[in-house]
Amino acid sequence: MEKSIKHGSAEKIGQESVSRTFIRIMGSPYLRTTGLLCIATILKKFFFKQFRAAMFPGRVPVTNVDHPLDEKIPFLPGKINTYLDFVAFWIRTIGFLLRQYRLKVYEPVRDFIESMGRLYTYAAEVYGENFSTTKRPFYIASPKFLLIHLVDPHLMCIPSLHAMIVIFTYTRFRKIVKDMGDETRFSSQAEELYSGALSITEAVLYVKQHSVNCIPAALYAMTRWDPGLFEPQEAEKFAKDLFMDSKNPAAKDREEIIERIITLYRRFLVEGEITQDWKAPLLKFLKNPE
């Protein structure tokens, strides 16, 4: 039996084993069904929906959402590992919680997993009415890029699920440990997840899987998803912290990029206030992207 960690403040979530966490979830009657349903939802809402659209084009409109500012973000193939970490990112977080709290955290962990599946369904409400894409380099020098080209038809850009997933992960972790009375104890892990969410969001831009336009759409989607977890102030702070410690893009370009993200995010919020349909501002944008 694994020893419970007494001093969680020193432990990094990034050290958690993804495979061990998966086995732990599948080995629990309480978590297994929710885990399997989450996997099924991801396959259906992300992979199947995209491949069906790629095989039968024309049924749903596809909008190119590139922006001139994308050219100011360099293509950095070396960021591929960070980009591909977005799934392991949330699985490791669950593993950490399970190891720290065991049975006490089963209910919030099950809700975490269920919510992840619902997040895919939520974003798919937009994709189902209007797909979106960007120009991405056909770069296959790395087997990982080849895999991306094979399994991702690249039709689900707005809103960026990658950004939504990592934002959900760090905000939900903060809520769970706060509810457990351990907000201070696990403050370093909360900061680790926040930094990781920023790095993965930056990476989706560096490897050209998303446009600058995709990020404010994700921020808006997460604010509408759960305003209590991701308030506008939190969203704007997240945007302002992007590329904070990076040499690329250049400082002046970074300012323009952040301004674009925050301006478009605010616009989506304003437009969203006059409609009960959360996706209306995004669909409006997809009809006339700029």
106-127 vs 280-287: helix axis angle to the nearest 10? 30
pLDDT at residue number 6 = 43
- Look at the chain and count its residues: 290
pTM of the model: 0.94
- What are the residue boundaries of the structural domains of the chain, listed by start? 14-134+144-287
Asked if 16 and 97 count as a contact pair (C-beta separation under 8 A), the reply is no
Mean pLDDT in residue range 83-100: 97
pLDDT value at 3 more than 80: no
Tell me the pLDDT band of 9, cut-offs 50, 70 and 90.
Answer: low
Q: Where are the alpha helices (DSSP H) in the chain?
A: 18-26, 29-42, 49-55, 80-84, 86-101, 106-127, 143-151, 161-179, 187-206, 214-225, 232-241, 251-272, 280-287
Spatial distance between the Cα atoms of 185 and 63, rounded to a whole number of angstroms: 46
> To the nearest whole percent, how much of the chain has pLDDT over 90?
83
pLDDT value at 1 more than 60: no
Spatial distance between the Cα atoms of 224 and 276, rounded to a whole number of angstroms: 10
pLDDT per position as a tens digit, 45-58: 888 888 887 787 87
pLDDT value at 229 more than 50: yes
pLDDT at residue number 200 = 98
Q: Calculate the average pLDDT of the chain.
A: 93
Q: What is the DSSP letter of 135?
A: -
Instruction: Tell which residue, 234, 162, 225, 223, has the closest CA to residue 197.
Output: 162
Give the CA distances from residue 230 to residues 101, 164, 218, in Å, rounded to whole numbers and listed in that order. Answer: 25, 11, 11
pLDDT per position as a tens digit, 179-214: 999 999 999 999 999 999 999 999 999 999 999 999
